[in-house]
Chains A and B, each alone.
Chain A
Amino acid sequence: MTANSFWLAFAIGFWLAAFWANVKLAASAWSESRVVRLVVPALFGITLLVLWEGIVRGLSVPAVILPAPSQIAVRISQSLPILWEDFVQTFVKGALTGYLIGCAAAFLTAIVVDRSPFLQKGLLPVGNFVAALPIIGTAPILVMWFGFDWQSKAAVVTIMVFFPMLVNTVEGLRAAEPIQLELMQTYNATWWQTLTKLRLPAALPFIFNGLKISTTLALIGAIVAEFFGSPIRGMGFRISTEVGRLALDMVWAEIAVAALAGSLFYGAVAVVEKRLTFWHPSQRRG
């Protein structure tokens, strides 16, 4: 048996074994336990990696087409300082800053829009229009305006997250029930009291929806914006230059970092959501 067919056989064998194990676990008495609920997706992920490794080795796929997970892991471990520098540049400075500015601006705009029906008619279509602008077209312009460094990336992200956040918040501010609004009226509550004690809490599930959608948009925006000019660091910059040098393992290493950062970012927002909207039917337990 050649090494190639060994790797293929191993990958398929592992896959079948994992398949069998997961079916057994899901049907077992402990299927609802915490450990099993972690083990099942973990096993699934590991199986994917093993299949990937086995097929790349077994079929001798060239590294330019698809490097094996082990090659990517080696690349990651050898390039930690570069990956960290890129991460800080793209994620912390570009994506996170833009995310915070964009979401805060959209939130405040939603409240202003709410106070003025005139703005609601005027601003929402304009926001819609801006959201329809392709980022591929606007990013180079923003790079011209704000320079090569992270500021232009933050600007791209701000524009990307603004509209989904605005629409969700405006929608959320309509979520309070008529009875609850009339109740506030019978108390002779001010607009501000009604906003802070009723309408904003009622809007939280919608606001978090916007915040979660925006996490992924922010990362995409910050990476893509770097394709149109950046200093010699950043995840988008690294991806575009390393592709040019056929160093696909480095490209995949950046992708791995981006996926991890994006998931953690989303997860962090979801955790805060769970704590603040515990009362919502979708979050209640039991």
Chain B
Amino acid sequence: METAATTKNGEGRAAAPRTAGHGAEPVIRARRLSLTFETRDGPVHALKDVDLDISRGEFVSFIGPSGCGKTTFLRVVAGLEQPTGGEILVNGMTPDEARRARAYGYVFQAPGLLPWRTIAGNVRLPLEIMGFEKGEQERRIAEVLDLVDLSGFGRKYPWQLSGGMQQRASIARALSFDAGILLMDEPFGALDEIVRDHLNEQLIALWKKTDKTILFVTHSIPEAVYLSTRIVVMSPRPGRVIEVIENTLPEERPLDIRDTPEFLAIAHKVREGLRKGHAYD
């Protein structure tokens, strides 16, 4: 399985296209990817025959109702979950190899900051584990805290900050070791609308600055349309990809782009896709 995939990937690397994922070596490549959990009530098909290529520099959102496998897909990419069928490659490696190579940063639903460490200390955690030298650690901490607008808060403890600031700190932590891929699992799900808008805006700016490949799980249609270059619509039982929607919005996206007809048209397409998913029930 692995050898076949490696030859497929030996095509050489083209310049990373900003939007659609055609031509270049995909950062993530899934073929007939399936994952079945055995539970007491019988098998649960969290993922079924998922085919997906994601290119370098893309911002791909995964949207769908609970249980559609969007989080599971992210966890498979991260090597936190083992697929039961099909194949998946991350940077041309198995997810586990990619994890060992520290190919991605993962932002969970909750910030998961260590309360005994300051914000700077939390950002330092992966750097310590990966063996960056002291001066380099300090440089990177300052850099990523600045990226997420937390420059003055390095010495605070997580419990002294608001939920939104904590989540920003956890994003800084995921960025600190400069992995090419950022996996984000509903990072703003627990935050209120206003904070969420602000963080969405910051996230787009950050993505432009850093040129990372971002996989973003959400169940908010406006969030998906606002952020992504492509939107993957999924449906539950079994978890599968219903539709992949190219986002034709311009790269420059002020918050009020969400009131334009173009935005609403794409949002409508996503909603239609979600409805299609329901028809399978």
Contacts and interface: CB of A to CB of B under 8 A. Distances in A.
B196 interface: no
Given A183-B106, A185-B99, A189-B129, A177 B112 contact: yes
Nearest to A189: B129
A186 B80 contact: yes
A187 B129 contact: yes
A52 to B, nearest CB: 45
Nearest to B111: A179
A279 B128 contact: no
Contact of A187 (B108, B110, B126): B126
What DSSP secondary structure best describes chain B's contact surface? Answer: loop
Contact of A183 (B104, B112, B128): B112
Contact of B108 (A179, A189, A280): A179
Contacts of A281: 159
Contacts of B109: 179
Interface in B94-139: 99-100, 102, 104-106, 108-110, 112, 114-116, 125-126, 128-130
B114 A201 contact: yes
Interface string A164-201: 00000000000001011011111111000100011001
A34 interface: no
Contacts of A284: 159
Contacts of A180: 112, 114
Contact of A186 (B99, B110, B115, B128): B99
B157 interface: yes
Interface string A268-286: 0000000001111100100
B165 interface: no
Given A177-B112, A279-B116, A280-B115, A185 B157 contact: no
Q: Which of A180, A186, A202, A277 has the most CB of B within 10 A?
A: A186
A179 B106 CA distance: 10
A208 to B, nearest CB: 13
Interface of A: 177, 179-180, 182-189, 193, 197-198, 201-202, 204, 277-281, 284
Given A182-B108, A188-B130, 14 more contacts: A183-B108, A186-B80, A186-B99, A186-B104, A186-B106, A187-B177, A188-B99, A189-B129, A197-B114, A197-B129, A201-B116, A204-B116, A279-B115, A279-B159
Interface of B: 78-80, 99-100, 102, 104-106, 108-110, 112, 114-116, 125-126, 128-130, 157, 159, 177
